[in-house]
Amino acid sequence: MSSDEKDEKSHKNQSEGTTAKEPRGARRKRATRQKLINAGLALMSERGKNGVSINEITEAADVGFGSFYNHFESKDAIYDALIEEVLNSIGDAIEVATNKLEDPAAILATAIRNVMNHAQRNPVWGRFLLRTAYSSEVLTLGMGKYMMNDLLRGMDANRFNVNDPVMAFLTVGGTVLSALALSIELNESTTNPTKNNAVQVANGLGYSLENLDQRTASSVLQILGLSVEEADTIANAPLPDIKDQ
Amino acid sequence: MSSDEKDEKSHKNQSEGTTAKEPRGARRKRATRQKLINAGLALMSERGKNGVSINEITEAADVGFGSFYNHFESKDAIYDALIEEVLNSIGDAIEVATNKLEDPAAILATAIRNVMNHAQRNPVWGRFLLRTAYSSEVLTLGMGKYMMNDLLRGMDANRFNVNDPVMAFLTVGGTVLSALALSIELNESTTNPTKNNAVQVANGLGYSLENLDQRTASSVLQILGLSVEEADTIANAPLPDIKDQ
DNA sequence: ATTATCTATAGATCTATAGATAATGC
DNA sequence: ATTATCTATAGATCTATAGATAATGC
């Protein structure tokens, strides 16, 4: 009503882009919160919830210590917020990429590749995701929810050949997680001299570590009963364009 | 030299059974250390290294606080000792069980089933193992080392049909880890009312969660190219007797 | 006499809050 | 006038050590 009108009016004086008019003070508050979230994510993805003090977070965020409590009532609270943030952004990373596709195999492959690419570009995000990997809500939140849906859909449509659905889920999920872990380590080791010895072992044996996203997608499809050829074809298809994150 | 002689001599007066004669004081020290290790394992497997204070460990171990520093110079030090303890006992759990076998498929299946059974009987151990799952030494320590060997041996012998060894390792390793996580949760949920919703979802869909060790072994063998029938046969074979742990 | 454990505590670190300062909205 | 941020600090918690007590080994 009247607040709608106000919104409309001020919207015109506003640069487009942000969702809507928002008073300067509220924006400042959100910005502070976001700085805390970003700092918390960076620190806690490396050292875990209890390896980081609130003071470290506010320092890294360049925010006064007391301000922390304007946004979160405890360290647990910010950690929970981080989990939500990370799990939600998985949804974005997957949904946007797959909503034009119909073949369950292509959907699953695209979802996997997008999660892995997202983690490559954003190792902090990926590392934090790995921390939440074995939580008891794995099936109903974040990546697990999408994988579960994709798997069930493909099984219903007889697109996948699966005789033990529980093992199929564990296999697909476990494969993606371990590939994610390797891929993140690999990404770091291009900047750091590579202290990771999985990378060294693989190199020593002459194994390539390129294109892990596509290889992971292909492997998963093969596990689900597709032929090597078809799995490779689908897993190497160009990814749909997204203007994501 | 002279200390060797002493050891020999006193060895005779001692009851057989423990590795060798050991003065009462040294045994007491080892016992205290073991109490600290056990308490640390139980607490840190649940809450992680930094979620536990040294005082909590000594209280749980029923040991004076200051004694902690007779055995470990810091919290990091005991955590490292726990990692070593857990990773070494994997070796025991696997080696004893597989040293009579020749078929690489049977070796791998037996190793997987033994690790999973060991974690079932000892959830603290299993939970801690999961914490170390994605360390950068995954391939050269603990479970990864054995899996790596078993895989390479089977590939060399053409027992496994693998076109991407890196993905084979990630797939096998990831599958075992996620199956281990589910299996531990499942074990807890028989005592607790089951807050774990993966278990609830599976039950809701009518999926069985029994015999996960055998099903995991079978799935892994299928991934490595064995037929469903052969994989099931090997994965369900009786486990060799061990007087382990 | 030696070695291990215990209790007690100093000093460091961390959390949560109170009260002052600065920025925004009318 | 209100709301957000800042600085400063009290009190709680935690680590590491010192010194006392108890158990072992000659």
* Total Cβ atoms within 10 A of residue B30: 12
What value does the mean pLDDT take over residues B173-186? Answer: 94
Q: Quick check: A54 contacting B, CB < 8 Å?
A: no
Q: Mean of the pLDDT values across residues B224-231? A: 97
Asked if A215 lies within 8 A of B166 by C-beta distance, the reply is yes
DSSP character at residue A132: T
Q: Which long-range contacts (CB under 8 A, 24 or more apart) does B148-152 make?
A: B148/A201, B150/B104, B150/B107, B150/B108, B150/B111, B151/B108, B151/B224
User: What's the average model confidence in pLDDT over A37-66?
Assistant: 97
Contact B181, B199 (CB under 8 A): no
Q: Which among A50, A165, A174 is the nearest to B178, CB-wise?
A: A174
| Per-residue pLDDT at A164 exceeds 80 | yes
Q: How far is CA B141 from CA A67, A129, B72, B88, B156, in A?
A: 44, 24, 22, 8, 22
Among A139, A171, A178, select the one facing B201 at the smallest CB separation.
A139
pLDDT in tens, B190-210: 777 667 778 888 888 999 999
Kindly give, in sequence order, each residue whose CB lies less than 8 Å from that of residue B124, ignoring residues fewer than 6 positions away: B41, B42, B45
pLDDT on residue B45: 97
Say yes or no to pLDDT of A16 above 70. Answer: no
Position A20 confidence tier, pLDDT thresholds 50, 70, 90: low
* Res. A166 pLDDT band, cuts 50 70 90: very high
Distance B141 CA to C2 C1' (A): 39
CA of B36 to C1' of C7 (A): 19
- Which site among A47, A151, A175 would you substitute to test the B interface, given the most B Cβ atoms closer than 10 Å to its Cβ? A175
Q: Confirm whether any atom of chain D, the nucleic acid strand, is less than 7 Å from CB of B55.
A: yes
Any chain B CB within 8 A of the CB of A190? no
Cβ of B204 < 7 Å from strand D? Answer: no
Measured between beta carbons, the chain A residues lying within 8 angstroms of B134 are 130, 178, 181
Question: Half-sphere exposure of residue B244, counting CA atoms within 13 Å on the CB side?
Answer: 21
The confidence score (pLDDT) of residue B1 equals 34
Q: Is the CB of B35 under 7 A from strand C?
A: no
List, in sequence order, the alpha helices (H) in A62-164: 68-71, 75-98, 104-121, 123-131, 142-156
Is B165 in Cβ contact with A138 (below 8 Å)?
Answer: no
3 state SS of B16 = coil
Touching B: A residues 18-47, CB under 8 Å:
47
Q: How confident is the model at residue B222 (pLDDT cuts 50, 70, 90)?
A: very high
3-state secondary structure of A83: helix
**Separation CA B85–CA B78 (nearest Å):** 10
**For residues B156-181, average pLDDT:** 96
Supply the angle between the helices B75-98 and B142-156 in degrees, to the nearest 10: 30
Is there a contact between B223 and A163 (Cβ–Cβ < 8 Å)? no
pTM above 0.85, yes or no: yes
Q: What is the pLDDT of residues B53-111, one digit of tens each?
A: 999 999 999 999 999 999 999 999 999 999 999 999 888 778 888 888 999 999 999 99
More confident call, A62 vs A203: A62
- Residues comprising chain A, all counted: 245
- Torsion-angle region of A136 (φ positive above 0: left; ψ -120 to 50: alpha; else: beta): alpha
Average pLDDT across chain A, whole number: 88
Kindly report, residue by residue over A94-150, the tens digit of the pLDDT: 888 888 899 999 999 999 999 999 999 999 999 999 999 888 788 788 888 899 999
Instruction: Answer whether residue A153 shows pLDDT above 90.
Output: yes
Task: State the pLDDT confidence band at B21, using cuts at 50, 70 and 90.
Answer: confident
